[in-house]
């Protein structure tokens, strides 16, 4: 399979033919949000699945039965095809959604209704590293090819869901800031209990300290890797990646084991240029 067969361009970013069709994208563009919807917005490989476990637990007051359905069902991607069988219009509030699209690509109703958004970001070098390994494994994806080639594609945004830089900047520059929470994978690694508590506060869901502690404990990498809840970016029959392969390392700074010195320097130069106007203080800087 070639890139042209796998991807098509949607509003300037590559999306997958398999999961994105004119029909799913039309549905996305015409989607009606409710004010109490909750959206997890991530660039791929930044902590999406992790958040899809944490947020339902917060919303349910820590009830693990909320994790019985797979992640694409409990927190479906709005722009992808699985939602067609999910009766999203009939779901009780608060509905939970995921999206990998940039802020400016959200549908008109999003800007009118202003539902809450939890935007999770991750050091792009670790995003690159995670994506490189995942694309090697996922059967619905192309092999990333030589690392250096894939690095340049990543830095140029010629990868699935486009440029990390454009994605992160779009959500950081979002206008309706009071409806938006930014958090990083690194902060979640550093103090998961505090991160769960901050997300609950943002969602205005009061939780006992014990419940917060239990949610954080359940969502530790080692526990999520072995617990019974099932997930994958797409149904497992479509991607061929096992849970243990998907939950690869779950650490910060793995890029140091992946990038050569020259590649890291090249990455830093592009990062410096692309992020020069960004005032946000990232946990990885
Ligand atoms: S996807 O395909 O976009 O949905 O991927 P995404 O879920 O955003 O990112 C996958 C990476 O997140 C790691 N992960 C975790 N890290 C720490 N703690 C927990 N609980 C956790 N859950 C998922 C997963 O291992 C992938 O990172 P890497 O670096 O590849 O291990």
pLDDT tens digits, one per residue of 159-193: 999 999 999 999 999 998 999 999 999 999 999 99
pLDDT digit string, tens, across residues 127-138: 999 999 998 888
The DSSP bridge pattern shows strands 180-184 and 96-99 to be unpaired
Asked whether 213 lines ligand 1 (CB < 6 A), one says no
Domain at 3-274, CATH homologous superfamily: P-loop containing nucleotide triphosphate hydrolases (3.40.50.300)
**Nearest alpha carbon, ligand 1 atom 6:** 45
pLDDT band, residue 234 (cuts 50/70/90):
low
219 CA to centre of ligand 1 in angstroms = 11
Contact 184, 118 (CB under 8 A): no
166-170 LR contacts (CB < 8 Å, sep 24+): 166/13, 166/102, 167/43, 167/100, 167/102, 168/43, 168/121, 168/124, 168/278, 169/274, 169/275, 169/278, 170/102, 170/103, 170/104
128 CA to centre of ligand 1 in angstroms = 12
Which of 122, 159, 247 gets mutated to test ligand 1 (max ligand atoms within 8 A of its CB)? 247
Residue 157, pLDDT > 60, answer yes
The DSSP bridge pattern shows strands 38-42 and 13-16 to be unpaired
Domain positions in the chain: 3-274
Coil/strand/helix, residue 42: strand
pLDDT band, residue 83 (cuts 50/70/90):
low
- At residue 54, the pLDDT reads 97
Element (H, E) at 10: strand 7-10
pLDDT band, residue 238 (cuts 50/70/90):
low
Question: From the candidates 17, 20, 100, 182, which is the catalytic residue?
Answer: 100
User: What is the C-alpha separation between 80 and 156, in angstroms, rounded?
Assistant: 24
Which of 130, 164, 226, 252 gets mutated to test ligand 1 (max ligand atoms within 8 A of its CB)? 130
**Nearest alpha carbon, ligand 1 atom 16:** 250
- At residue 34, the pLDDT reads 98
- At residue 76, the pLDDT reads 93
User: Is 17 part of the annotated catalytic residue set?
Assistant: no
Radius of gyration of the chain (CA): 18
Residue 232, pLDDT > 60, answer no
Contact 136, 143 (CB under 8 A): yes
Which of 18, 49, 126 gets mutated to test ligand 1 (max ligand atoms within 8 A of its CB)? 49
User: What is the C-alpha separation between 192 and 146, in angstroms, rounded?
Assistant: 35
């Amino acid at each position: 399979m070639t890139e042209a067969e796998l991807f098509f361009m949607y509003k300037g970013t590559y999306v997958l033919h398999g999961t994105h069709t004119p029909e799913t994208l039309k549905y996305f563009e015409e989607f009606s949000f409710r004010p109490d919807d909750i959206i997890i917005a991530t660039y791929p490989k930044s902590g999406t699945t992790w958040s899809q476990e944490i947020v339902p637990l917060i919303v349910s007051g820590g009830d693990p039965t909320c994790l019985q359905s797979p992640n694409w069902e409990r927190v479906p991607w709005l722009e992808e095809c699985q939602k067609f069988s999910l009766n999203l219009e009939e779901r009780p509030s608060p509905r939970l959604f995921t999206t990998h699209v940039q802020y400016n690509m959200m549908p008109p109703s999003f800007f009118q209704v202003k539902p809450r958004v939890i935007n999770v970001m991750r050091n792009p070098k670790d995003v690159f590293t995670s994506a490189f390994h995942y694309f090697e494994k996922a059967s619905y994806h192309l092999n990333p090819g030589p690392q250096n080639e894939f690095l340049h594609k990543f830095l140029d945004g010629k990868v699935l869901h486009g440029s990390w830089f454009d994605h992160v900047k779009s959500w950081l520059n979002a206008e309706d800031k009071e409806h938006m929470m930014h958090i990083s994978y690194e902060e979640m690694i550093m103090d998961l209990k505090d991160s769960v508590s901050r997300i609950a506060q943002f969602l205005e869901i009061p939780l006992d300290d014990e419940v917060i502690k239990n949610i954080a404990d359940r969502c530790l990498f080692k526990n999520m890797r072995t617990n019974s809840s099932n997930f994958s970016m797409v149904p497992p029959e479509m991607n061929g990646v096992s849970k243990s392969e998907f939950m690869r390392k779950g650490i910060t700074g793995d890029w140091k084991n992946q990038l050569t010195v020259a590649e890291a320097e090249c990455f830093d130069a592009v990062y410096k240029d692309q992020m020069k106007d960004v005032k946000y203080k990232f946990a990885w800087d």
